Homo-oligomer: A and B are copies of this chain.
């Protein structure tokens, strides 16, 4: 659907500055938004972004000025943005399953709240509990005594093994496996003897997990994904890892056993972390980096093995100039030899 700037202003009770007939059909962050999209500026200190944005219409704090831009001034731009997004999507079709499909296999010892939706061929084992508002698509597996909080959304073919705990509003995409055994062995007489993995996994409120992710259960205790953390596709989370709140773990990253992440940590794509280290709050690991040591809060690292990002960039720049440096060395040697001959 499309909506005019004037209609958005009416919807969010804002003050329109500029062209009220401008139409938007989508929305995005202020850096990525295009001409026909709505964006927002949360804080007036970011006003310089207004000069560069392609966004057709921007929700802004009350005092904001940017001549030539179509703005809508509001008290709380982020809140108004959410309202406008929901409005833009209100006519989108809803493909979610409803009710309990007759082919679902639900143990009489499981508790499914009335109103929860269970798709075709989904299996709910003994002692599992599914709270109200949950939607499970087709072909899922919910193991024994696993708990889903309210309003979880589970796409087709997700496996939640036994005794996994999900908070409220958790979203899990297709093909993801939560609660598989950790990779733990003790080598006895040349054979790798399996160390039983009898812990569990706790996924807190508002976590979203992408497709074909693997999250292993802890050996004894629990693997934890903190509130509001978002995990992209094909990520590996090993046993006993603890991830804090509001982290972003991008596609194909991997975290080895017993490593702890603070809050607001970012792991870019294909990053790898060894086991038994600590990653401080707000730390950032660049793509493909291999982290072998603990990282302090706020630190940014890059490379394999990872180093502070400034060092990594400086070293990479030097590596690009090695040819020149080698020439310099050879030239110096020639000049020194000349002296020695004299």
Which of these, B81, B196, B248, contacts A192 with CB under 8 Å?
Answer: B248
Residue of B nearest to A103 (CB): B105
Q: Shortest CB–CB separation between residue A34 and chain B, in angstroms?
A: 9
Query: B139 touching A123 by the CB < 8 A rule?
Result: yes
The distance in angstroms between the C-alpha atoms of A85 and B185, with both chains bound, is 13
Given known pairs A26-B220, A192-B230, A228-B191, the reply for A288 and B290 (CB within 8 Å) is yes
Query: B29 touching A186 by the CB < 8 A rule?
Result: yes
Q: Shortest CB–CB separation between residue A213 and chain B, in angstroms?
A: 8
Check A305 for interface membership: any CB of B closer than 8 A: yes
Q: Which segment, of A46-54, A108-116, A332-340, faces chain B? A: A332-340
Q: Tell me which residues across on chain B come within 8 A of A26, comparing CB atoms.
A: 219-220
Which of these, B211, B254, B256, contacts A177 with CB under 8 Å?
Answer: B211
Q: How many residues of A contact B (CB 8 A)?
A: 110
Query: A318 touching B329 by the CB < 8 A rule?
Result: no
Q: Tell me which residues across on chain B come within 8 A of A137, comparing CB atoms.
A: 141
Check A304 for interface membership: any CB of B closer than 8 A: yes
Q: Which segment, of A10-18, A64-72, A266-274, faces chain B? A: A266-274
Query: B252 touching A269 by the CB < 8 A rule?
Result: no
Q: Which of A211, A246, A323, A329 counts the most B-chain CB atoms under 10 A from its CB?
A: A211
Given known pairs A156-B141, A250-B183, A256-B269, the reply for A314 and B307 (CB within 8 Å) is no
Which of these, B156, B173, B180, B328, contacts A155 with CB under 8 Å?
Answer: B180
Interface string of A156-188 (1 = CB under 8 A from B): 110101100000000101111100110101101
Query: A304 touching B304 by the CB < 8 A rule?
Result: yes
The distance in angstroms between the C-alpha atoms of A118 and B49, with both chains bound, is 52
Query: B250 touching A252 by the CB < 8 A rule?
Result: no
Query: B92 touching A198 by the CB < 8 A rule?
Result: yes
Query: A323 touching B332 by the CB < 8 A rule?
Result: no
The distance in angstroms between the C-alpha atoms of A189 and B29, with both chains bound, is 14
Check A200 for interface membership: any CB of B closer than 8 A: no
The distance in angstroms between the C-alpha atoms of A81 and B251, with both chains bound, is 39
Check A296 for interface membership: any CB of B closer than 8 A: no
The distance in angstroms between the C-alpha atoms of A285 and B246, with both chains bound, is 33
The distance in angstroms between the C-alpha atoms of A193 and B287, with both chains bound, is 23
The distance in angstroms between the C-alpha atoms of A83 and B143, with both chains bound, is 28
Q: List 8 A-B contacts (CB under 8 A).
A: A78-B186, A81-B186, A89-B198, A123-B138, A183-B233, A211-B214, A214-B233, A339-B339
With A174-B180, A190-B264, A191-B246 known, 4 other A-B pairs at CB within 8 A are A139-B141, A177-B211, A214-B233, A332-B333
A-B pairs, 4 with minimum CB distance? A78-B188, A318-B322, A214-B233, A180-B211
